[in-house]
A and B are shown apart, each in its own frame.
Chain A
Amino acid sequence: MSTELDVFVGNTTVLDEDVYQLWLDGHTVSNAVRIRMEAGALQECEANAEVLHSDTMDQFRTFQMCERLLQSPSKVANQLLFQIPPHRQTMLIERYYEFDSVFAREVLGKKLSKGTKKDLDDISSKTGIALKCCRRQFDNFKHVFKVVEELKGPLVENIQRHFLLSDVLARDYAAIVFFANSRFETGKRKLQYLSFQDFAFCAGQLISYWTVGAVNNVMEDLDVDLEKEFLHDLKDLKVLVNDKDMLDQHKSLVCAQLRGKIKVFSEMEASFKNLSRALVNIASKLTHTKDFRDLFIDLVEKFIEPRRSDKWTIGDLRLFLKHYSSSVHTLEAFRHQVIWDRYMGVIKSCILKMYHD
C-alpha cells in the first residue's frame, strides 16, 4: 500500500514561505519534514507526519516548477501558469536570489567558471551549506554576471531591472559582479578576517566613485571597469611624499589638528611619513592590474596591520584620516585636489570598514 500520486493545485498558487526557505537551503524532503516537525508544525491543524510529508513534497514540487521562471524573473510577472499575487512574486524572487554571505565570501573574487563550480563541495563542507544550495547561489551569481556583463549603464540599476531585486540585494550582486570582474585578491590568509559585507561595502564605494559610470552618465560600457584616466592620474599624488616641503607642511597641518585629540599622537607624529607613504604608494600602483588586484591586501598589510599593532582605536584612525585628507586642501603647492579627494574618500571609508578584528 502506498500513495502513488499526490498533488494539490490551487488557483492561486499555495506557497509556504518557511518551506520555501527549507527548499532554498537545499534540504531533502525528509530532512525538511524533520525540521518542520521540530519547529512544531504538527501542532497546527492537528497534522500528522504523513500530512506534513505530503505537504512538503507538494511544496517542493511547486518550487521546482517555479524555478525555471525564477531564473528569468521578468517572466514571473507575465507568465500564465502560476497565479501568484505580486507581493508573493517579489518574495519568491527575492528569496531565490538571496545568498549566504559566508558562501559569497568564499566565492568572492574567484572566476565564476566551471572550475570554481567543481570546488563547490569543498565550500559546502567548509561552510556547512548544503551543496545544492551552494550550486543555486553560484548559478545565480554566474547568471547575473552573464546577463549584466553585456549591458550598458549603471550596474545596480541593471541588476534591479533584470532581476527585480530589492535595492540592497541588487547592491550585493553588484559587488559580486564587480569582484568577479576585477578579480581582487580576497583569499589570502591575512584577508580572512574580512566578511562579505566588508568587501561589499568597499565594492560599493569603488563602483560609486572610481568607475566610469561614476563621473559621466554616458552609457557606453559596463561601469564595472574603473576609470583608466583616473587611475593614471593617481600617479601624480606621489608628490605628497616625494616633495619634502609638502610632506613636512602636510605633517605639521595634521599634527596641529590632532594634538591632544588622539591617544596615539606621538606614534602618529613619529611615523607620519610612513603612514602617508603607504597610502600614496597604494594609489600610485593602481594602474598596474597586478597591483590593482592586490588593493585590499595592500591596504591590510601596509596600513591596517601596522596601525592595529600600534593599538590605534577606530576613533583615532577616523580622526587621523579625516584630517590627513582634508589638510591637503590647504597645501597651496598641491594641484591635484580633485583626484586626491576622489581617492581618499574611497580609501578612507574602506579602511574604516576594514579596520576591525
Chain B
Amino acid sequence: MPGKLKAKIVAGRHLPIMDRASDLTDAFVEVKFGNTTFKTDVYPKSLNPQWNSEWFKFEVDDEDLQDEPLQITVLDHDTYSANDAIGKVYIDIDPLLCSEAATVISGWLPIYDTIHGIRGEINVLVKVDLFNDLNRFRQSSCGVKFFCTTSIPRCYRAVMVHGFVEELVVNEDPEYQWIDRIRTPRASNEARQRLIFLMSGELQRKIGLKVLEMGGNAVVGYLQCFDLEGESGLVVRAIGTACTLEKISSTLPATATHPSNSSPSKDMKEPGFGEEAPGVPLSSGPPTPLRAQTFSSFSPSKSYSRQSSSSDTELSLTPKTVGIFLFPSTPTLESESSPLPSAHLPRHLWPGMASRSTTPPPLRLSKSDTAILRKSVSFSEELLLAASGMGSGGSAGKEAGPLKALLRQQTQSALEQRRVSSSSEAFVRTGEYPFFPLTAFPPGFLLHVGGVVSARSVKLLDRIHNPDEPETRDAWWEEIRQEIKSHAKALGCQAVVGYSESTSICEEVCILSASGTAAILSSRFMQDGPLDTEHRLSRQPLCVFSTGSERVEGDMGSSASLGFEEVVSPGCGFCHIPYDELNIPFPAQLTYCYCCRRYKVPDVLFTTIDLPTEANVTGKGCLIQARLCRTKKKAQGEGNATVISNLLPFLEYELHTQLMNKLKLRGMNALFGLRIQISIGETMLLGLASATGVYLTALPSPGGIQIAGKTPSDITYEQHISNMQKKINDTIAKNKELYEINPPEVVEEIIGSPIPEPRQRSRLFRSQSESSDEVSELDLSHGKKDAFVLEIDDTDAVEDIHALLTDFPTPAGFYSCNTEIMPGIQNWTSAIQMFTSVRVFRLNASLTSQGLNKIFSDLCENLLKSLYFKLRSMVPCCLCHLNFTVAIPEDELIQVAVTAVAMSFDKEQLLENGKQSGEKTLIKAITENDEQLQFNLELNAETPSPNPLSSPKGLSEVGSHLSARALSVDYSSFADRCSSWIEQLKLKAHTIRRGSVKTTSSMEKASPLPEGRSRSLRSNRSYSGSSVAVVKMTPLSFIPGAKIIKYLGIINMFFIRETTSLREEGGVSGFLHTFIAEVFAMVRAHVAALGGNAVVSYSMKECVFMENPNKNQAQCLINVSGDAVIFVRESELESTSVQTQSATTHTSNGAEGT
C-alpha cells in the first residue's frame, strides 16, 4: 500500500568551486526515489545556493520505502558540456516509517563524493505520510523497530522475547561486473553504495516481516554484516532477536502496576505451555530418534568428509570441516565436549517436571567415538543436502513463537511428527534456533551460563548463480547454527546468548564462524512473564526468584538438594553449572559456589556476554587478549581450504591456552565478552581473542602458574627456572594489587570437593606445538591429572613465558575492557570520547611463526599504549568496549582496527565508594580551584613531576592532576564536553589556558622571544557562532549520566572512498584519517537531522582498505551502524544549581546536553 514521501531542498553551503573562471558554482539538485526524479532550478553563481524548492512528492509502495534510499545529487550546471556531479546524499527513510521514531529529517547533511569526499553541505527536509496497511499478505514491514543495542533498549520494556531472526540477501558485486571495465571509478563506487543501500533495506524489510509473523514489533541486537566475496558476489546478512517491546512512559516508571496480564500474548502462550507439558515425561525414556539424529549430524570420521568433499563441489560445499570448540572451564576443550548425548536435555529444559529418579543414566558416548570426532567434525551430507534444498525464504516464523517451537521440537512427539514429514525435518530443525544476539539481560532472565560455544567452517566460494535463492549461503549458516545448538545442548543448555556470526574471506576461501554462550534462561519469562517483573525485582536489594526459576535451581544442584525454596543470591546464580555434575561435558573442576555454598560452580567461566549487573565481582576487570599468528603455505582452492581447516583447531586451541594463562596471570577466574576472530591471508592465519577478565566471587580463586624443567640439569638451569617462576609469581601478585583482587578469605571447610590449594594450579601450556597429534594427546590427559607444571624443554616454551609476561599493564589511571561496563566503576562522568584507530603493519617476508607472533602481539600492545597516551587527558578513565578487528588486506600486511569509547570517572567517589554526596565537594572545589591550578602549574613548570599522573601541561591534564579534590569531573571532561556549564566556567578555563601557555613557553627554548605569542588568550567572545549540534557517539548502549528518552531509528551507512592522488592527500594515513573523520561527520549529521543528539551501540563493522602506492591509488570501504537517540542529562538540575553558584555570569542558553 502506498505512502507519500515528500522532500524539499532548502539550501546548500560550502560548495566547492566548480567553475574555475568565476570561482563559483551554478548548482542544482536532483532528487531521486525509485525511478522518479525531480530537479530544482539552477542557482547560479554561488557557493551557498538557496534553492528553497517546492515539496517534491513521491507516491510509492511502502515496500519501496523500506528498500530504497532517497538519493539526492548535487550537480553543477554547465551550458556547453555535461553537468558535473558535485556529490550525493543517501537518506535512509526507514526511521520515518515507524511511528515511535523520528517524524522528520531536517538539517545539514554532507554532500559526499566517493572520489573527493565531503564537498559542502545541503539542507533538506524529508517527511513521509504513511497510509495504514492492513493487508495480511503485504511484503513490507513498516513499523517494526530495529535496535543495534544488544540489550533491551533503555526506554522500553520487553513484553515478550520471540527469538532468533536471521536473513541474508545476495547479489553480484558491481565492482566485479564486466561493465566495471568501462565505467569510471566514481560510477562503480556509486553503483556499489547504492546496491548495498538497497540490499540492507531489503534485508531489514524481510527481517521485519519475520518479526511480524512471530507477533513481535521490534528487533533487538540487530547485527548486519557484509561479506565481500569478490567474484562470487556480495552477501548481506543479519541476525537479531525478535521482541515485543512496550515503551515505558518516562513520567511513570511504574507502568508495571499492570502486570501485563492483559497482553494478548499470554493467552496465546498459555495453551502452548500445556501443549508442551505432555511431551516432557518422554524425556525420561530417552527417545531413540532424537539421539540418532544428534549423532547423525556429525560425520563419523574425518576421512569421510574429505572424500565427500569432491562431490560437494557442485554444491560449492567443498571441504567443510568444522572445527568446533567449547570453552568450558579448563583448557582441554573441543574434543570431548562436542558429541554429547542430548538425551538428558529435556530435563534441563523442564526441570520442574523431570524428576531425577526417573531420568535414566545419561547417555555416554563411547570414548572411541569421541576420539574420532575430535580432530575435525563435519556435518553429515544428508543434513547439508536437506538444508540446502530448503532455501532461505522464511526459515523462521512458521511457528507462532519460535521458542515455543523450539521447546516442542525438543520433545519427542514434536520430533516424531517432523520426521514423518521427511524432507521438512532438517528445515524445521534448523529453522528455529534458541539464539539471542543479546549480551545483557534483565536481572533474573539469565539463570545459568554453561560456557562458550563456537563453530567454524571453511568453505570454498562459488559464484552465486541465482541471487533470488541464496541457498548455499543459507545452508552454510544453517549448518553452523545447528552445530552451535548441539554444543549448547551438550552443555545442558537450551539457549545460546551473546550470539554472533562472522566471516573471513581470502580469495575464494571463506571461514564462517559463530559463537555464543550456552545458557539457561528463565523460561517463565519467555512464556508469559513480562520482563518488567524482573525489573521491579531488581530494584530490591535481593532478587527473589519466582517459583518457576527456583524449581530450576533445585534441579540444577546436586541430586540430594531439596532446598529449592530457599532464596538464591542473584550474584552467583548464573555461575552455577547447568550441566549434570556426573556427566560433565568436559573435564572441569567443580566446587561449591563460594557465594551460596549450595550449588556447584566451575573453576573458570568463559562467556561472550556482558557481565550481568547483579554479578558479585571482586576487584576490577581488565582486557585480556590472546594473539596468534601462524604461517601457512600458499595454496589454491580446495587445497587451501584443507590446509586452513587443518590449522584452525590448533589456532583455537592455542588462543584458548593463551587466554587461560593470561587470565591466571591476572589472578582472575572468568572471561566476559569473549570474541575470537580468525582472519585468513594467503600465507598466514591470524587469531585474536579479546575478552574482559574478572574475578567472580562465586568461583574459586585461581591457582598460580608453576613451571618446571623437564630435563634434570645443572644449577644454572634450575636457577633460570626459579627466576622465571619468581617473575610469574611477582606478576600475579602485582596484578592482584592492581585490579584490587582480594577475595574474602574462605575457610575451606565445605563438603564436596574443594581442591586443595597446592594442586589447584593450572598448567601453562606450550602454545607452539609442532605436532598436532601430540597436542591432542596432551590435552586429553590433562584434565584428569592434577597438572600444574609447565615443562621447559626447549626455547619455544621459554619464549612463551616471556610472551606471557610482555603484556604491559595499563598505565595508572586507566582501565580497559571490551564489555559495556567495567565492574567496580559506577560513577562515570559525562566525559566520553569515542574513537577509531586503524593501523596497518607491513611484515618482512620469511618470518617464522614465532617471529610473527611477537610482531602481532607487539602491534596490538603498542596500539593500546598509543590509545592510553592519546587519552591521557581523560584520566582516570576506562576504555570500554574495546573492539579489535584484525584483517590481512594483502600478503605481508596486517591491519588492526579498534573502536572503543573512553569514559572518565570520578576517582574520589570511587575511593570513598560514594560515601559523600559529590555535589557539595564539587561546588567547593570549583571555587577553590583557581589558586590551586596556579600553584600546580608553577610547580609543573619548574620541575617535571615524575608522577606519570601529573602531566606537566595542558589544560585538561591540569584538571586531572587535581583529581584528588574531586573536581576532576569538571576538568577532565573538558575534552569532550561542551555544555553550558563549561561556558560558565570560562573564566577559570581562561586561567588554565594562560597557565598552559606559560608552561609551554618554558618548554620551547628553541624559539627565541616566545613572549611575542604568550599573550594571554581572551575568551570573552561569545561562542554563539556554532551552529552545529554536538552529537555524541558511543559503542555502548547507554550514555553515562544521561537518560535516553527516545530511539529515533537505526543508522546503517556504507561508504566507499577512493583516490587517485594518494600522495597529495597525505599518503595512506592522511587518506584514511580524512575518510574516517568524514564517516563520523556523516553519521553525526544524519543523527542530528533526525533530531537526535547521540548514537549508541555504534560500531564500525567493516573497514576494508586497499592501496596501490605505485599507482598512487587507494580505496576504502567502511560500514558503520548504531542507534540514533535523544538523551537528556540526568544531572541537568544539579548542574544548573552548580552553575549559578560558581559562575557570576549565568547565561544558560540551553546548550547543555546538545
Are A and B co-members of a single complex? yes
Interface residue ranges, A against B (CB under 8 Å): 1-14, 16-18, 21-22, 25, 35, 38-40, 43-48, 50-52, 54-55, 57-58, 61-62, 64-65, 74-75, 77-83, 85-87, 89-91, 94-95, 98-104, 127-130, 160, 164, 166-169, 196
B721 in the interface, Cβ–Cβ < 8 Å?
no
A129 to chain B, nearest CB (A): 6
B254 in the interface, Cβ–Cβ < 8 Å?
no
B1070 in the interface, Cβ–Cβ < 8 Å?
yes
Q: Is the CB of A40 within 8 A of B952?
A: yes
Q: Is the CB of B870 within 8 A of A46?
A: no
Contact with A along B1061-1103 (1 / 0, CB 8 A): 0000010111011101110111011000000000000000000
Question: B1018 — nearest CB in chain A belongs to which residue?
Answer: A166
Q: Is the CB of B1018 within 8 A of A8?
A: no
Main secondary structure of the interface of A (DSSP, over half): helix
A9 to chain B, nearest CB (A): 4
Known: A43-B945, A65-B1074. 10 other contacts (CB 8 A): A1-B842, A5-B840, A7-B1076, A12-B976, A44-B872, A45-B814, A79-B1028, A80-B1085, A102-B1009, A103-B1012
B519 in the interface, Cβ–Cβ < 8 Å?
no
Residues of A within 8 A of B1020 (CB): 166-167
Residues of A within 8 A of B1028 (CB): 77-80, 83
Contact with A along B1017-1057 (1 / 0, CB 8 A): 11111010111101111000000000000000000000000
Q: A90 CA to B840 CA in the complex, in Å? A: 34
Q: A43 CA to B940 CA in the complex, in Å? A: 13
Q: Is the CB of A50 within 8 A of B862?
A: yes
Question: B953 — nearest CB in chain A belongs to which residue?
Answer: A18
Q: A164 CA to B118 CA in the complex, in Å? A: 25
Could you jot down 10 A-B contacts, CB within 8 Å? A3-B841, A5-B840, A8-B837, A9-B836, A10-B833, A22-B1004, A38-B1003, A77-B1028, A81-B1081, A196-B1012
For the complex, count residues of B whose C-beta is within 8 A of A: 96
Query: A4: which of B841, B946, B1030 is its contact (CB, 8 Å)?
Result: B841
Main secondary structure of the interface of B (DSSP, over half): mixed
Interface residue ranges, B against A (CB under 8 Å): 13-14, 108, 110, 118, 121, 808, 811, 814, 833-844, 855, 862, 865-872, 893, 895, 944-948, 951-955, 974-978, 982-983, 986, 989, 993, 996, 1000, 1003-1004, 1006-1009, 1011-1013, 1015-1021, 1023, 1025-1028, 1030-1033, 1066, 1068-1070, 1072-1074, 1076-1078, 1080-1082, 1084-1085, 1105
Residues of A within 8 A of B840 (CB): 3-6
Question: A167 — nearest CB in chain B belongs to which residue?
Answer: B1018
A164 to chain B, nearest CB (A): 7
Q: Is the CB of B1026 within 8 A of A86?
A: yes
Q: A58 CA to B976 CA in the complex, in Å? A: 18
Q: Is the CB of B865 within 8 A of A83?
A: no
Residues of B within 8 A of A58 (CB): 870, 1073
Q: Is the CB of B865 within 8 A of A48?
A: yes
Q: A164 CA to B951 CA in the complex, in Å? A: 30
Q: A75 CA to B1000 CA in the complex, in Å? A: 28
B1113 to chain A, nearest CB (A): 14
Residues of B within 8 A of A61 (CB): 1066, 1069-1070, 1073
Q: Is the CB of A9 within 8 A of B1004?
A: no
Residues of B within 8 A of A51 (CB): 862, 865-866, 869
Q: Is the CB of B1105 within 8 A of A5?
A: yes
Q: Is the CB of B1069 within 8 A of A6?
A: yes
B948 to chain A, nearest CB (A): 6
Question: B1085 — nearest CB in chain A belongs to which residue?
Answer: A80
Residues of A within 8 A of B1033 (CB): 11
Q: Is the CB of A25 within 8 A of B1015?
A: no
Question: B901 — nearest CB in chain A belongs to which residue?
Answer: A11
Q: Is the CB of A39 within 8 A of B835?
A: no
B11 to chain A, nearest CB (A): 12
Query: A17: which of B862, B996, B1105 is its contact (CB, 8 Å)?
Result: B996
Q: Is the CB of B1026 within 8 A of A77?
A: yes
B633 to chain A, nearest CB (A): 22
B780 to chain A, nearest CB (A): 38
B223 to chain A, nearest CB (A): 22
Residues of B within 8 A of A128 (CB): 1007-1008
> Given that A3-B839, A44-B869 are contacting pairs, would A85 and B1081 also be in contact in the complex, using a CB cutoff of 8 Å?
no
A248 to chain B, nearest CB (A): 48
Q: A25 CA to B1009 CA in the complex, in Å? A: 12
> Given that A1-B841, A3-B841 are contacting pairs, would A98 and B1015 also be in contact in the complex, using a CB cutoff of 8 Å?
yes
Q: Is the CB of B1009 within 8 A of A86?
A: no
Residues of A within 8 A of B868 (CB): 45-46
Q: Is the CB of A43 within 8 A of B948?
A: yes
Residues of B within 8 A of A8 (CB): 835-837, 866-867, 870
Question: A86 — nearest CB in chain B belongs to which residue?
Answer: B1023
Q: Is the CB of A166 within 8 A of B1021?
A: yes
Residues of B within 8 A of A64 (CB): 1066, 1070
Q: Is the CB of A46 within 8 A of B948?
A: yes
B893 to chain A, nearest CB (A): 7
Q: Is the CB of B108 within 8 A of A52?
A: no
A345 to chain B, nearest CB (A): 26
Q: Is the CB of A55 within 8 A of B869?
A: yes
Residues of A within 8 A of B1008 (CB): 102, 127-129
Residues of B within 8 A of A98 (CB): 1013, 1015
Q: A16 CA to B808 CA in the complex, in Å? A: 25
A107 to chain B, nearest CB (A): 13
Query: A86: which of B978, B1007, B1072 is its contact (CB, 8 Å)?
Result: B978
Residues of B within 8 A of A130 (CB): 1007
Q: Is the CB of A11 within 8 A of B1019?
A: no
> Given that A18-B1003, A81-B1081 are contacting pairs, would A90 and B1019 also be in contact in the complex, using a CB cutoff of 8 Å?
yes
Residues of B within 8 A of A74 (CB): 1025
Query: A87: which of B893, B982, B1030 is its contact (CB, 8 Å)?
Result: B982
A272 to chain B, nearest CB (A): 39
Residues of A within 8 A of B1021 (CB): 90, 160, 164, 166
> Given that A9-B1076, A61-B1066 are contacting pairs, would A2 and B841 also be in contact in the complex, using a CB cutoff of 8 Å?
yes
Q: Is the CB of B14 within 8 A of A79?
A: yes
Query: B989: which of A3, A18, A80, A87 is its contact (CB, 8 Å)?
Result: A87
B90 to chain A, nearest CB (A): 16
Residues of B within 8 A of A7 (CB): 837-839, 1069, 1072-1073, 1076
Q: Is the CB of A25 within 8 A of B1012?
A: no
A335 to chain B, nearest CB (A): 43
Q: Is the CB of A78 within 8 A of B1027?
A: yes
Q: Is the CB of B953 within 8 A of A85?
A: no
Residues of B within 8 A of A50 (CB): 862
Q: Is the CB of B869 within 8 A of A47?
A: yes
Residues of A within 8 A of B1081 (CB): 80-83
Q: A50 CA to B865 CA in the complex, in Å? A: 10
Q: Is the CB of B872 within 8 A of A45?
A: yes
Question: A82 — nearest CB in chain B belongs to which residue?
Answer: B1077
A90 to chain B, nearest CB (A): 6
Q: Is the CB of A21 within 8 A of B1018?
A: no
Q: Is the CB of A4 within 8 A of B1012?
A: no
Q: Is the CB of A45 within 8 A of B948?
A: yes
Q: A57 CA to B1003 CA in the complex, in Å? A: 19
Residues of A within 8 A of B947 (CB): 43
Q: A295 CA to B767 CA in the complex, in Å? A: 84
Q: A10 CA to B870 CA in the complex, in Å? A: 10
Q: Is the CB of A5 within 8 A of B1017?
A: no
Find the residue from A2, A80, A102, A160 having the highest chain B CB count within 10 A.
A80
Question: A39 — nearest CB in chain B belongs to which residue?
Answer: B1003
Q: A276 CA to B52 CA in the complex, in Å? A: 68
Question: B875 — nearest CB in chain A belongs to which residue?
Answer: A45
Q: A86 CA to B1081 CA in the complex, in Å? A: 17
Residues of B within 8 A of A3 (CB): 839-842
Residues of B within 8 A of A57 (CB): 1069
> Given that A5-B840, A6-B839, A99-B1012 are contacting pairs, would A12 and B982 also be in contact in the complex, using a CB cutoff of 8 Å?
no
Q: A345 CA to B641 CA in the complex, in Å? A: 91
Q: Is the CB of B835 within 8 A of A91?
A: no
A169 to chain B, nearest CB (A): 7
